[in-house]
Amino acid sequence: MSTLAFQNIGPDKQDEASGIYGVTRSLGSSIGIAIIGWQVAARTQVHWATLSAGITPFNPNVLSWLAPLGLDVNSQMGAAQLSGQVMAQASMLAFQDAFTLTGWAAFLMLPVILIMQRPRAGAASAPVH
Protein backbone atom coordinates (compact mmCIF):
# COMPACT_ATOMS: atom_id res chain seq x y z
CA MET A 1 0.00 0.00 0.00
CA SER A 2 2.85 2.35 0.79
CA THR A 3 4.48 1.68 -2.55
CA LEU A 4 1.27 2.49 -4.38
CA ALA A 5 0.72 5.63 -2.32
CA PHE A 6 4.19 6.99 -3.04
CA GLN A 7 4.67 5.86 -6.64
CA ASN A 8 3.89 9.23 -8.27
CA ILE A 9 5.44 11.46 -5.61
CA GLY A 10 8.79 13.02 -6.30
CA PRO A 11 11.69 12.86 -3.84
CA ASP A 12 11.19 16.54 -2.96
CA LYS A 13 7.69 15.84 -1.59
CA GLN A 14 8.38 12.54 0.20
CA ASP A 15 8.48 14.06 3.69
CA GLU A 16 5.14 15.85 3.36
CA ALA A 17 3.53 12.84 1.71
CA SER A 18 4.79 10.54 4.44
CA GLY A 19 3.22 12.71 7.13
CA ILE A 20 -0.12 12.92 5.35
CA TYR A 21 -0.06 9.18 4.69
CA GLY A 22 0.63 8.42 8.36
CA VAL A 23 -2.17 10.69 9.60
CA THR A 24 -4.62 9.27 7.06
CA ARG A 25 -3.73 5.71 8.00
CA SER A 26 -4.13 6.46 11.72
CA LEU A 27 -7.51 8.13 11.16
CA GLY A 28 -8.71 5.25 9.01
CA SER A 29 -7.64 2.71 11.62
CA SER A 30 -9.32 4.63 14.42
CA ILE A 31 -12.57 5.02 12.50
CA GLY A 32 -12.55 1.35 11.50
CA ILE A 33 -11.96 0.18 15.06
CA ALA A 34 -14.73 2.48 16.32
CA ILE A 35 -17.18 1.13 13.75
CA ILE A 36 -16.36 -2.48 14.59
CA GLY A 37 -16.59 -1.80 18.34
CA TRP A 38 -19.97 -0.15 17.88
CA GLN A 39 -21.12 -3.03 15.69
CA VAL A 40 -20.09 -5.65 18.25
CA ALA A 41 -21.86 -3.81 21.08
CA ALA A 42 -25.05 -3.26 19.08
CA ARG A 43 -25.19 -6.78 17.68
CA THR A 44 -24.53 -8.28 21.14
CA GLN A 45 -27.68 -6.54 22.38
CA VAL A 46 -29.69 -7.75 19.38
CA HIS A 47 -28.54 -11.34 19.81
CA TRP A 48 -29.05 -11.17 23.59
CA ALA A 49 -32.67 -10.11 23.07
CA THR A 50 -33.26 -12.79 20.46
CA LEU A 51 -31.66 -15.63 22.42
CA SER A 52 -33.13 -14.72 25.79
CA ALA A 53 -36.66 -14.58 24.37
CA GLY A 54 -36.77 -18.38 24.32
CA ILE A 55 -35.68 -18.83 27.93
CA THR A 56 -38.73 -19.35 30.10
CA PRO A 57 -39.46 -21.60 33.06
CA PHE A 58 -41.85 -23.51 30.79
CA ASN A 59 -39.27 -24.39 28.12
CA PRO A 60 -38.34 -28.08 28.51
CA ASN A 61 -34.93 -27.48 26.91
CA VAL A 62 -34.03 -24.99 29.62
CA LEU A 63 -35.11 -27.41 32.32
CA SER A 64 -33.13 -30.28 30.79
CA TRP A 65 -30.02 -28.07 30.45
CA LEU A 66 -30.13 -27.03 34.09
CA ALA A 67 -31.08 -30.47 35.52
CA PRO A 68 -27.57 -32.07 35.26
CA LEU A 69 -26.16 -29.01 37.03
CA GLY A 70 -28.62 -29.49 39.89
CA LEU A 71 -30.11 -26.06 39.30
CA ASP A 72 -33.63 -24.74 38.98
CA VAL A 73 -34.86 -22.02 36.61
CA ASN A 74 -36.11 -19.96 39.53
CA SER A 75 -32.89 -20.14 41.55
CA GLN A 76 -30.29 -17.40 41.52
CA MET A 77 -27.53 -19.78 40.39
CA GLY A 78 -29.73 -21.16 37.61
CA ALA A 79 -30.46 -17.65 36.35
CA ALA A 80 -26.75 -16.80 36.51
CA GLN A 81 -25.81 -19.92 34.52
CA LEU A 82 -28.43 -19.14 31.89
CA SER A 83 -27.39 -15.50 31.71
CA GLY A 84 -23.73 -16.42 31.28
CA GLN A 85 -24.51 -18.91 28.53
CA VAL A 86 -26.74 -16.43 26.67
CA MET A 87 -24.06 -13.74 26.95
CA ALA A 88 -21.37 -16.07 25.61
CA GLN A 89 -23.53 -17.04 22.65
CA ALA A 90 -24.62 -13.44 21.97
CA SER A 91 -20.99 -12.26 22.02
CA MET A 92 -19.90 -15.02 19.68
CA LEU A 93 -22.65 -14.16 17.20
CA ALA A 94 -21.83 -10.44 17.44
CA PHE A 95 -18.16 -11.07 16.62
CA GLN A 96 -19.24 -13.25 13.73
CA ASP A 97 -21.38 -10.37 12.45
CA ALA A 98 -18.45 -7.95 12.79
CA PHE A 99 -16.19 -10.35 10.91
CA THR A 100 -18.80 -10.62 8.14
CA LEU A 101 -18.99 -6.81 7.99
CA THR A 102 -15.23 -6.47 7.57
CA GLY A 103 -15.23 -9.18 4.90
CA TRP A 104 -17.92 -7.38 2.90
CA ALA A 105 -16.09 -4.07 3.31
CA ALA A 106 -12.90 -5.62 1.94
CA PHE A 107 -14.80 -7.19 -0.94
CA LEU A 108 -16.51 -3.89 -1.80
CA MET A 109 -13.11 -2.16 -1.95
CA LEU A 110 -11.87 -4.43 -4.72
CA PRO A 111 -13.04 -2.07 -7.51
CA VAL A 112 -10.46 0.45 -6.26
CA ILE A 113 -7.89 -1.72 -8.02
CA LEU A 114 -9.42 -0.74 -11.35
CA ILE A 115 -8.90 2.99 -10.79
CA MET A 116 -5.33 2.77 -9.51
CA GLN A 117 -2.58 3.96 -11.83
CA ARG A 118 0.12 1.62 -13.01
CA PRO A 119 3.68 2.60 -12.14
CA ARG A 120 5.62 4.22 -14.95
CA ALA A 121 7.87 1.85 -16.86
CA GLY A 122 11.44 2.03 -15.62
CA ALA A 123 10.58 4.11 -12.56
CA ALA A 124 12.67 3.20 -9.56
CA SER A 125 10.76 2.76 -6.35
CA ALA A 126 11.50 5.43 -3.80
CA PRO A 127 12.31 4.52 -0.21
CA VAL A 128 9.21 4.63 1.95
CA HIS A 129 9.05 5.58 5.62
Q: What is the pLDDT of residues 38-91, one digit of tens each?
A: 999 999 999 999 999 989 889 999 999 999 999 988 899 999 999 999 999 999
pLDDT higher at 39 or 7: 39
Residue 118 has pLDDT above 90, yes or no: no
Residue 11 has pLDDT above 90, yes or no: no
- Asked if the structure places residue 122 within a domain, the reply is no
Nearest of 8, 1, 25 to residue 119 by alpha carbon:
8
91 touches 44 (CB < 8 A): yes
Number of domains, the chain: 1
Report pLDDT for 122.
60
pLDDT band, very low/low/confident/very high, at 16 (cuts 50, 70, 90)? confident
- Asked if the structure places residue 19 within a domain, the reply is no
- Asked if the structure places residue 28 within a domain, the reply is no
Residue 124 has pLDDT above 60, yes or no: no
- Asked if the structure places residue 79 within a domain, the reply is yes
Report pLDDT for 125.
56
Report the C-alpha gap between 128 and 117 in whole angstroms. 18
44 touches 89 (CB < 8 A): no
Q: 45 lies in which domain range?
A: 36-115
- Residues 6 or more apart whose Cβ sits within 8 Å of residue 86: 48, 51, 52, 55
Report the C-alpha gap between 43 and 109 in whole angstroms. 24
Residue 6 has pLDDT above 60, yes or no: yes
Which pTM value belongs to this model? 0.74
